[in-house]
């Protein structure tokens, strides 16, 4: 019986540009171009021309992404495999993750995972993921993270849902005004001028928002309306900034107005879609909403990345005018080093609890004693006959930053309490100082 290595060649390389390309018109090198083409096909995107491949390679190179391609050793004549295109893709890169209290840790971000349907159930996905997790563990990275297109794939590899996301849609006519006048002021600006201050505002948001992930190159192009799929700026993108009473820009929003329905020549129903909303202070969140409500003639405002809980609903005269249109898992965490990960975050209450962690891949397996005092934790391997709590590493990923309540997960059968009161104690210890919120997709 043939093995995976008999049939396939796995290659990991850094995304790169063709050195002979022009600075104004970058070209992907051959390996990166083939990888991008395979990834696009895996996500059912339109085939990219050379210019689009160059733009994609430029973004991947800026992030320093590690690309893994799986290549068939004996490809059938005429197949895409025979043209040097990988049958599976995988990418990872390093960005900071805010774990609370202004503390940042390096995280291994996983993206671009595809396997052609004709090459599934051969162990390719498992090999790509386990190889990357082993590499990240060996390099001292305490946690990996990903966003999943399918929710049933990644728990088997130790990933647990750390944060959920939701889409809200504000009925402008029903919502009424804000119950309290926002501090500061909000002004419309060009997207070009916004680009001069946006990174600073995001850096301040990142520093104060537990679960925020530093932005990558592609995220900025989308957020600021710099680049549509064809490489041109988005002419429909609009922007506004919020200024504190001191005049400092402490928030911004980008948006576009979309028309839905209606026949030829009709405008149909217009919806304002929030593309990016970044608030570095509490005052910088309601101010932009006051502006968005006044944009005519939009009858509704859709925000695909609303925080949970969202201060908008209680801020409005008619909070019922903010229905939730969609709610699902967003970022998944995979703890690789439980000692480093647990000690990195701040702790809300003093206490001692022992936790037995199951991990089929072995990276986090063991029993640990967590001792929290004055906001800090000391975590050590423990030799006890029976731990107070038992859970698997995926559940630890859900609990880690306080995105899920231990009491809820115990009721779901994912946390086993072996010492009475241990779940409630852990709940108090893990409480984050602010609601988790992240607005980086990868």
Does 318 lie in the same domain as 343? no
Whether 253 has a pLDDT exceeding 90, the answer reads yes
What is the CA angle 164-424-418, rounded to 5? 105
* Nearest C-alpha neighbor of 178 from the set 362, 311, 343: 311
Any long-range contacts for 103-107 (C-beta under 8 Å, 24+ apart)? 103/344, 103/345, 103/346, 104/206, 104/207, 104/214, 105/142, 105/143, 105/340, 105/341, 105/344, 106/141, 106/142, 107/141, 107/142, 107/143, 107/144, 107/145, 107/213
Whether 91 has a pLDDT exceeding 80, the answer reads yes
Does 345 lie in the same domain as 319? no
User: Where do we find the tokens 């939009």?
Assistant: 298
Does 383 lie in the same domain as 349? yes
At 13-39, the pLDDT tens digits run: 999 999 886 666 889 999 999 999 999
Count of domains observed in the chain: 3
The two structure tokens encoding residue 87: 């049958």
> What is the mean predicted confidence (pLDDT) over 40-44?
93
Whether 264 has a pLDDT exceeding 60, the answer reads no
Among 328, 349, 381, give the residue marking a domain's end: 328
> What is the mean predicted confidence (pLDDT) over 367-380?
98
> What is the mean predicted confidence (pLDDT) over 79-104?
93
Does 52 lie in the same domain as 33? yes
Residue pair 51/57 in contact by the 8 Å Cβ criterion: no
User: Where do we find the tokens 């305490």?
Assistant: 142
Does 313 lie in the same domain as 344? no
CATH code assigned at 406: 3.30.1050.10
Whether 267 has a pLDDT exceeding 70, the answer reads no
Among 304, 328, 352, give the residue marking a domain's end: 328
Residue pair 248/235 in contact by the 8 Å Cβ criterion: no
Q: Prior bond to 31 cis, omega within 30?
A: no
Whether 151 has a pLDDT exceeding 90, the answer reads no
Does 230 lie in the same domain as 97? no
By DSSP bridging, strand 351-358 and strand 389-392 are parallel
- What pLDDT score does 22 carry? 64
Q: How far apart are CA 136 and CA 327, in angstroms?
A: 30
Residue 438 included in any domain: no
- What are φ and ψ of residue 358, in 5° steps? -95, 135
- What pLDDT score does 229 carry? 66
- What pLDDT score does 150 carry? 82
- What pLDDT score does 47 carry? 87
Domain containing 33: what range? Answer: 4-147
- What pLDDT score does 76 carry? 85
Residue 435 included in any domain: no
Residue 155 included in any domain: no
Portion of the chain with pLDDT greater than 90, in percent: 79
CATH code assigned at 284: 3.40.630.30
Residue with more model confidence, 301 or 267: 301
Residue 37 included in any domain: yes
Q: How many CB atoms lie within 10 A of CB 2?
A: 9
Q: Which residues pair with 357 in a beta bridge?
A: 366, 391
> What is the mean predicted confidence (pLDDT) over 174-198?
93
Residue 64: which pLDDT band, with cuts at 50, 70 and 90?
very high
Question: Could you tell me if residue 184 is left (phi over 0), alpha (psi between -120 and 50 degrees) or otherwise beta?
Answer: left
- What pLDDT score does 230 carry? 65
Does 10 lie in the same domain as 142? yes
Residue 80 included in any domain: yes
Residue 441 included in any domain: no
> What is the mean predicted confidence (pLDDT) over 6-12?
93
Sequence-ordered strand ranges (E) for 324-436: 324-335, 351-358, 366-373, 376-381, 389-392, 416-417
Whether 265 has a pLDDT exceeding 50, the answer reads no
Whether 345 has a pLDDT exceeding 80, the answer reads yes
Does 300 lie in the same domain as 174? yes
Does 320 lie in the same domain as 214? yes
What is the CA angle 156-159-163, rounded to 5? 140
Residue 152 included in any domain: no
At 311-322, the pLDDT tens digits run: 999 999 999 999
Residues 6+ apart with CB under 8 A from 337: 137, 140, 141, 142, 143, 363, 364
User: Where do we find the tokens 């059968």?
Assistant: 413
Average pLDDT score over the chain: 92
DSSP notation for 275-299 = EEEEESSSTTTHHHHHHHHHSTT--
Sheet holding 103-115: strands in order across? 8-14, 66-72, 88-100, 103-115, 143-147, 324-335, 160-171, 300-306, 269-279, 249-260, 238-243, 185-189
Residue 263: which pLDDT band, with cuts at 50, 70 and 90?
very low
Residue 271 included in any domain: yes
Whether 324 has a pLDDT exceeding 70, the answer reads yes
At 108-143, the pLDDT tens digits run: 999 999 999 999 999 999 999 999 999 999 999 999
DSSP secondary-structure letter at 198? H
Sign of CA dihedral 80, 83, 86, 92: negative
Residue 171: which pLDDT band, with cuts at 50, 70 and 90?
very high
Does 321 lie in the same domain as 346? no
Residue 386: which pLDDT band, with cuts at 50, 70 and 90?
very high
Does 281 lie in the same domain as 370? no
Does 141 lie in the same domain as 15? yes
Among 308, 328, 348, give the residue marking a domain's end: 328
- What pLDDT score does 352 carry? 98
Residue 309: which pLDDT band, with cuts at 50, 70 and 90?
confident
């Amino acid at each position: 019986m043939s093995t995976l290595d008999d049939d396939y060649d796995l290659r990991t390389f850094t995304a790169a540009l063709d050195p002979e390309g022009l600075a104004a018109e970058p070209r992907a090198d051959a390996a990166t171009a083939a990888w991008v083409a395979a990834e696009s096909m895996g996500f059912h995107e339109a085939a990219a021309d050379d210019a689009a491949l160059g733009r994609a390679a430029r973004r991947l190179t800026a992030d320093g992404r590690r690309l893994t391609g799986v290549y068939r050793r004996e490809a059938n004549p005429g197949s895409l495999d025979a043209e040097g295109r990988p049958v599976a893709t995988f990418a990872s890169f390093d960005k900071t993750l805010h774990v609370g209290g202004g503390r940042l840790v390096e995280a291994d971000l996983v993206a671009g995972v595809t396997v052609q349907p004709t090459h599934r159930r051969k162990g390719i996905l498992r090999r790509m993921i386990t190889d990357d997790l082993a590499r990240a563990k060996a390099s001292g990275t305490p946690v990996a993270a990903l966003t999943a297109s399918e929710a049933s794939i990644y728990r088997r590899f130790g990933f647990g849902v750390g944060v959920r996301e939701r889409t809200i849609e504000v009925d402008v006519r029903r919502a009424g005004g804000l119950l309290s006048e926002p501090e500061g002021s909000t002004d419309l600006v060009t997207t070009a001028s916004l680009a001069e201050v946006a990174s600073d505002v995001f850096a301040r948001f990142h520093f104060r928002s537990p679960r925020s992930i530093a932005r990558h190159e592609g995220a900025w192009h989308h957020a600021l309306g710099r680049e549509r799929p064809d490489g041109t700026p988005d002419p429909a993108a609009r922007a506004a900034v919020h200024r504190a009473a001191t005049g400092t820009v402490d928030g911004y929003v980008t948006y576009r107005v979309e028309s839905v329905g209606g026949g030829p020549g009709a405008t149909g129903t217009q919806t304002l879609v929030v593309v990016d909303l970044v608030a570095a202070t509490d005052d910088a969140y309601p101010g932009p909403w006051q502006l968005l409500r006044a944009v005519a003639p939009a009858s509704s405002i859709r925000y695909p990345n609303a925080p949970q809980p969202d201060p908008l609903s209680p801020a409005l005269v008619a909070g019922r005018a903010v229905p939730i249109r969609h709610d699902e898992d967003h970022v998944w965490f995979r703890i690789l080093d439980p000692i480093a990960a647990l000690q990195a975050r701040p702790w809300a209450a003093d206490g001692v609890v022992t936790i037995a962690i199951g991990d089929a891949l072995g990276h986090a397996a063991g029993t640990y004693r967590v001792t929290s005092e004055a906001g800090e934790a000391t975590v050590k391997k423990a030799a006890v006959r029976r731990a107070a709590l038992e859970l698997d590493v995926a559940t630890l990923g859900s609990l880690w930053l306080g995105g899920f309540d231990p009491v809820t997960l115990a009721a779901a059968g994912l946390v086993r309490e072996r010492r009475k009161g241990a779940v409630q104690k852990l709940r108090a210890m893990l409480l984050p100082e602010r609601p988790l919120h992240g607005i980086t997709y990868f």
